[in-house]
Amino acid sequence: MSPTRITGTGSAAPRNVVTNQDLEKIMDTNDEWITQRTGIKSRHIALPGEKFSDFAVPAARQAMALAGIDAADLDMIICGTLTPDTRMPSGGCCVQALLDADRAFAFDVCAACSGFVYGLSIADRELRFRPDQQILVVGGDVVSHHVDWRDRATAVLFGDGVGAAVLTGAGETGHRLLSVELGSNGKLGELLNIRGIGSAAPVTAKDYDPDDNYIRMQGREIFKHAIKNMVEISYRAMKNAGIEPEQITKIIPHQANLRIIEMLAKQFRVPMERVFVNIQSYGNTSAGTIPIALDEAARGGFLEPGDMVLLTVFGGGLTWGAAVIEWE
């Protein structure tokens, strides 16, 4: 069976940067608290009018350029996002139209921060049946549109950005995706939610509360579940890839909290210099964290031929996932 390969990556984020010092001016917070508790120093925040496709399309174009394919070659577009431009058409269909990827079919995966890794899994399964396909997986969010700037407990954490990757089972070059594993627990969904907009709380309801448009999170609880589930799913991904934990040489973790990243590094006995961290300049970009980090790690030379790379992610739903890639 031909292995699934990642042949190109790309990423894009809004130009507008908001620092911790900027936040100090609009809410009761400070750089020291944010840095110590999260590792975040600044984040990219979309300006009014900026939307998901403004970043998804350039990220996709970069990934296709590296993969050496055109939009016309795409068979499928999967968008892991919570924040498509519109509910209908989907984020995937918007991206398809803007790219002129007329031969593809496109859809969204709603798995919050885990959306990109969920997309990798779907692409991997598809390629087992038809390896010759070219699949674009996009992951990212303009999550700032759901941030309540009065709520310091969440507002300091998030940023906007989108990443993308091209996957195929055709050809002999590209980084081999050895395994992808997913998990979720809907019973704990209340710990991290956006209550409004859905059919349970439609904007047309007389008693619609605009505050329901915002992300709410029980940070401490999420912290515990994030570590437990990312550790478990990562071991499962390594086992299914047929490798021992000691063989992992680099980790690209979800960028939600530097303390969580450090705990994961310790658990897998990988020194921090071999763990990719860009949380300081992005914050948590939701489904964007993994593909943006993967793209920066690839382009910046952090990933080297022979590396065994672990991706691990956790998000609302609750959802989580992990993947192992052999870098070529």
Q: How many residues bind ligand COA (CB under 6 A)?
A: 21
Query: What three-state secondary structure class fits 80?
Result: strand
Question: Which listed range, 64-72, 95-103, 150-158, 265-273, lies at the site for ligand COA (CB under 6 A)?
Answer: 150-158
Is 292 among the residues that bind ligand COA (CB under 6 A)? Answer: no
- Which of 101, 106, 222, 298 touches ligand COA by CB under 6 A? 222
Closest CB to ligand COA: residue number: 219
- Which of 79, 95, 109, 156 touches ligand COA by CB under 6 A? 156
- Which residues, in sequence order, are CB contacts of 266 under 8 Å at separation 6+? none
Is 315 among the residues that bind ligand COA (CB under 6 A)? Answer: yes
**Minimum distance of ligand COA from residue 234's CB (angstroms):** 15
What is the edge-to-edge ordering of all strands in the sheet holding 161-168?
A: 105-109, 76-80, 134-141, 161-168, 5-12, 175-184, 319-326, 308-315, 250-253
- Which of 107, 208, 223, 235 touches ligand COA by CB under 6 A? 223
How many other C-beta atoms can be found within 10 angstroms of the C-beta atom of residue 39?
19
Positions in 68-127 near ligand COA (CB under 6 A):
113
**Minimum distance of ligand COA from residue 171's CB (angstroms):** 35
HSE value, Cβ hemisphere, 13 Å, CA-based, for 59? 32
How many other C-beta atoms can be found within 10 angstroms of the C-beta atom of residue 53?
23
Question: Is residue 284 annotated as part of the catalytic site, yes or no?
Answer: yes
CA-based nearest residue to 224, from 272, 191, 190, 183: 191
For 177, list phi and psi in degrees, rounded to 5. -85, 110
Residue corresponding to tokens 């590792």: 39
Please state, in angstroms and rounded to a whole number, the distance separating the CA atoms of residues 144 and 50.
Answer: 11
Is 168 among the residues that bind ligand COA (CB under 6 A)? Answer: no
C-beta of 74 vs 222, nearer to ligand COA: 222
Is 284 among the residues that bind ligand COA (CB under 6 A)? Answer: yes
C-beta of 31 vs 73, nearer to ligand COA: 31
Q: Which of 20, 113, 175, 229 is catalytic?
A: 113
Is 38 among the residues that bind ligand COA (CB under 6 A)? Answer: yes
Q: Is the backbone of residue 171 left (phi > 0), alpha (psi -120 to 50) or beta? A: left
User: What DSSP element (H or E) covers 31?
Assistant: helix 31-38
Is 208 among the residues that bind ligand COA (CB under 6 A)? Answer: no
Residues annotated catalytic, as ranges: 113, 254, 284
Kindly list the residues in this chain that would bind ligand COA in the complex (CB under 6 A).
29, 33-34, 37-38, 113, 152-153, 156, 192, 219-220, 222-223, 226, 256-257, 260, 284, 314-315
